[in-house]
Structure 1
Amino acid sequence: MVRVNWCCGILVAIAIGQGVFPIETIQASPWDNILESFSRRPKPPLGGRGDEFCAISPRRLPDGIERTSGDRLLFVWKGSISKIEVHAKGVAAPLWSQLVNSEARQWLYTGTPLLAGAHYEWWIFNRFAVNETEPTFRVPFQVIESSERDRVTLELTELNSQIRDTKKWVSAEEWSRKRSQYFISQGLFVDAMREILSVLRPSQELRTIWQQIPVDLCKR
């Protein structure tokens, strides 16, 4: 006969008459589903990653284009680069250009607001390239149409109201997690990434997510 007790997230099974056999199950982090969603994303083509560099957000997709709902976005990458630019699709002159130090791994776009429905490219420059005046990588992305953006804005407002209506204190990290889950459900991983990285005082679980996402998204 087996008696099963639940205590503090740990399952304990006791086989009566046959000795005691404790079985522990580690309680899942609330961030695990989000990490799994990023891990399942298609790997970029070789032009979107390399031994020293990997575009994390936005990223090159093997079939399709990265989408975002915001008029500003957070660029995230792995590796050392020297400059990033934003270009309207097919336009040589940059809308925005930013020199970055070798230790930087993310940068917030601060140029003119991006237009709904428009297509853009993220240009990445490597100071060690043979021709450092030419971008090493170009990553296309698109801002969603205004009607879809309005819907996302409305649904986020409703989500915020639902969180407030729980009548209990919700941490900034939990708030960000729920919003990032929403963005993932809409296929807006660029927006989800910005939410994930926006938490000022992250828990150890979230720090682990920060460390694991580049590993999962950049591995060959």
Structure 2
Amino acid sequence: MNQKFNLVLFFLTLTIIAPLHLPMVIAQTTQVQNNSNKNGEKDVDDTFDKSDEDPPGIGNNGTTRWNRWEKAFENVFNQSDEDPPVDIKDGTTRGSSLCLVSPGLIEVEGKIWNTRPIFIWQGQLSRIEIHPSNNEEVLWTFDIQENEEIVDYSGEELEPGSTYRWRIFDSTNSIAGMQQRTFSIIDVEEHEAITQDLAKLDQDLNKQGATKEAIAFAKVQFFAERNLWSDALSEVFKVKKPSIELQDFRSNILQRLCQGEEN
């Protein structure tokens, strides 16, 4: 199966299960938060602690477990050995340990919403550069630390409706970039509409006491519904203190997206 198609199916699975689980997540986190305010015994994020005795997806107090990420993930990527090899897009090399994931590998028509994107890859890099698509001007450069595989863009805000390239280097002294990917920010009107809708979603969830991971899950669904797969994936990696289940999920989804390189 094609790896982009796999990811689309995965996020569609999330859009199906998220509406079923999110109201319970919000209700449970709100209840726990209220209890915590009274006796100080439990933090909201403790709602997602996992017990070996819990049934899949449900905690011992009836709350939704974050292994639902893994369940959706496995349902989509459960491929047989007979499946044909995935298509490798420009920017990935079969037999190489380097895989540029986002932006550029997974989004529809190379379009993203975030004007300060998160760059995600697997493999060893030394430097990233961001250029306009039509010239060699360096808009932003970042030296990569050893074993670093995710970087937040910290340059000047990128412009809706514009197209860019991120180029990677294997050493800080490289003259020519090893590989590059092209991505575009969605047009101004669509960008403004999504920004407003996202702000309202974030405000509503925070008012209801949703945890950081519950909010991330809702935003994944939000972007997936709009075919903004790179932005959806980025939300998975924005949680600063992820649960063990979410950490495992992050690793697994990158491995699956990049597995075609190793076949």
Shorter chain as normaliser: what TM range?
0.7 to 0.9
CA distance in 2, matches of 1:174, 1:98: 31
- SS of the aligned residue for 2:90 comes to helix
Contact 2:118 / 2:234 at 8 angstroms: preserved in 1?
yes
Give per-residue Cα distances to partners, 1:14-44, cap 9 Å, x unaligned: xxxxxxxxxxx9524332476469959xx56
Please state how far the C-alpha of 1:53 moved relative to its aligned partner: 0.5
What residue number does 1:123 align with? Answer: 167
Partner Cα distance (2:199, 2:145) in 1:
37
- Report if aligned partners of 2:56, 2:68 keep a CA contact under 8 Å in 1: no
- 2: CA distance between counterparts of 1:38 and 1:197? 20
Q: Does 1:199 align with 2:228?
A: no
Cα deviation for residue 191 of structure 1 reads 1.7
Q: Percent identity?
A: 24
Question: Residue 59 of structure 1 aligns to which amino acid in structure 2?
Answer: G
Whole-Å separation in 1 of the counterparts to 2:183 and 2:243: 31
Using structure 1 for the length normalisation, give the TM-score.
0.76
Q: SS of the residue aligned with 1:48?
A: coil
Q: Are residues 1:177 and 2:220 paired? A: no
Q: Which of 1 and 2 has higher RCO (CA within 8 Å, sep 6+)?
A: 2
The match for 1:155 is 197
Q: 2:105 corresponds to which residue?
A: 60
Report deviation, 1:48.
2.2
Counterpart CA distance in 1 for 2:129 and 2:75 is: 28
Give 1:46 shift: 4.9
Q: Which runs of 5+ in 1 are unaligned?
A: 1-24
| Alpha-carbon distance between aligned partners in 1 of 2:125 and 2:133, rounded to the nearest angstrom | 22
1:31 partner amino acid: W
**Which structure's CA Rg is the greater one?**
1
Q: Distance in 2 between matches of 1:67 and 1:37?
A: 26
Name the count of aligned residue pairs. Answer: 191
1:34–1:181 CA contact under 8 A, matched in 2 = no
The ranges of structure 1 where at least 4 consecutive aligned residues each deviate by more than 6 angstroms after the TM superposition are none
Name the SS for the 2:182 alignment partner: strand
The structure with the greater share of residues assigned to helix is 2
* Unaligned residue ranges in structure 2 (runs of 5+): 1-53, 58-66, 79-85
Following the alignment from structure 1 to structure 2, what is the Cα–Cα distance between the partners of residues 138 and 149?
25
Query: Structure 2 counterpart of 1:159, which letter?
Result: L
Aligned pair in 2 of structure 1 residues 77, 37: CA closer, same or farther (>3 Å)? farther
Cα shift at 1:162: 4.0
Cα distance in 2 for partners of 1:103, 1:179 equals 27
Residue identity matched to 1:213: I
Contact map agreement 1:77 1:105 (CA 8 A) in 2: yes
TM-score, normalised to structure 2, is: 0.64
